[in-house]
């Protein structure tokens, strides 16, 4: 009986310790992010540059384990610089253009909602997986739940007049319908970013992009969806402005 008791107590203790580490890390990350976002300006720029640098470092670590040629590795590093750099520029630009609440409601919380909605709906509903060879845990139910969660955030923002319709010129269906569509699009892009990083890690045969964040893996692991969304935002908003088409 004594052996059974020690075994049953050891598992919850380890699980609780891991949960505590993850919780403390999450609170610390959130706190630093909110502070940088609140003050904006050079603090936000420096914060984004730091994150981008860490992601690129992890990107190159993963690419270095692909086992390809030197030319292939350099090409991947160049693509990483473009991908991460473009997303970082978009992150900087939205905070320079809009206040903290608008950036949270329109650009950040919907992506967080995708992860939360996908996690809970995937766990509760389960069902067919989207691409089991790339990311075995991602299901269609999870994607649907993420889209619904992001849509709810976009609808709430639209009702408060700080949603997508308040920031996108010519926003079609600038109502509940348009906000829901925006949420679905964000969910698809964020999940695509997640799949892309999962594919990279699977090719490199690694579980996490690094161990920088206790209980969470690497910075790239936490920002894969954000990178994809902001990269697309850069392509549809910043690029046209640079070439004089906006």
* Mean pLDDT of all residues in 198-218: 86
- Give the residue from 147, 122, 125, 124 showing the smallest Cα distance to 136: 122
Among the listed residues 89, 66, 87, the one whose alpha carbon sits nearest the alpha carbon of residue 77: 66
155 Cβ partners below 8 Å, 6+ apart? 163, 176, 179, 180, 183
- DSSP letter (8 states) at residue 66: S
The pLDDT tens digits of the residues spanning 99-117 come to: 888 888 888 889 999 988 8
Question: From CA 132, how far away is CA 135, in angstroms rounded?
Answer: 5
169's tokens: 């010129």
**Contact status, residue 149 vs residue 116, Cβ threshold 8 Å:** yes
Q: Once rounded to an integer, what is the mean pLDDT over residues 40-49? A: 94
- Of 31-45, 164-178, 182-196, 215-229, the range with the lowest mean pLDDT is 164-178
What percent of the chain is modeled with pLDDT above 70? 82
Confidence (pLDDT) at 62: 95
What is the reported pLDDT for 116?
86
Contact call for residues 153 and 163 (beta carbons, < 8 A)? no
* pTM confidence score: 0.84
Per-residue model confidence (pLDDT) at position 103: 86
CA 22 – CA 139 distance, rounded (Å) = 24
- How many Å apart are CA 117 and CA 121, to the nearest integer? 6
The pLDDT mean for the chain works out to 83
| Stretch 121-144: mean pLDDT | 84
Q: How far apart are CA 6 and CA 17, in angstroms?
A: 16
- Looking at residue 189, its pLDDT comes to 95
CB under 8 A, 24+ apart: contacts of 19-28: 21/214, 21/215, 22/214, 22/215, 22/216, 24/214, 25/213, 25/214, 25/215, 25/216, 26/216
Handedness of CA 134, 120, 149, 50 (dihedral sign): negative
230-243: pLDDT as tens digits = 999 999 877 676 66
CA atoms of 170 and 131, how far apart (whole Å): 35
Q: CA dist 10 to 18, 41, 60, 120, Å?
A: 12, 48, 38, 27
Q: What is the pLDDT of residue 75?
A: 95
List b or e across 107-132, with b for residues whose CB sees 16 or more CB atoms inside 10 angstroms.
bbbbbbbbbebbeebbeeeeeebbee
Task: List alpha helices for 126-218, DSSP H.
Answer: 140-159, 176-204
Domains of the chain, residue spans? 40-97+207-246, 99-204
């Amino acid at each position: 009986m004594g052996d059974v008791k020690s075994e049953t107590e050891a598992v919850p203790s380890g699980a609780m310790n891991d949960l505590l580490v993850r919780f403390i890390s999450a609170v610390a990350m959130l706190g630093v992010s909110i502070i940088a976002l609140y003050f904006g300006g050079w603090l936000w720029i420096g914060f984004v540059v730091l994150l981008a640098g860490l992601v690129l470092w992890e990107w190159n670590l993963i690419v270095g384990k692909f086992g390809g040629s030197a030319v292939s590795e350099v090409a991947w590093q160049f693509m990483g610089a473009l991908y991460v750099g473009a997303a970082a520029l978009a992150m900087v630009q939205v905070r320079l253009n809009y206040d903290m609440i608008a950036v949270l409601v329109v650009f950040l919380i919907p992506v967080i909602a995708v992860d939360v909605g996908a996690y809970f709906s995937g766990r509760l509903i389960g069902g067919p997986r989207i691409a089991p060879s790339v990311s075995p845990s991602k299901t269609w139910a999870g994607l649907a739940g993420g889209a619904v969660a992001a849509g709810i955030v976009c609808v709430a923002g639209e009702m408060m007049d700080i949603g997508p319709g308040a920031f996108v010129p010519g926003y079609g269906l600038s109502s509940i319908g348009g906000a829901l569509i925006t949420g679905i699009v964000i969910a698809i892009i964020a999940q695509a970013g997640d799949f892309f990083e999962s594919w990279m890690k699977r090719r490199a045969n690694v579980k996490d992009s690094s161990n920088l964040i206790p209980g969470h893996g690497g910075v790239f692991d936490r920002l894969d969806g954000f990178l994809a969304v902001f990269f697309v935002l850069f392509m549809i908003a910043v690029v046209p402005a640079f070439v004089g088409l906006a």
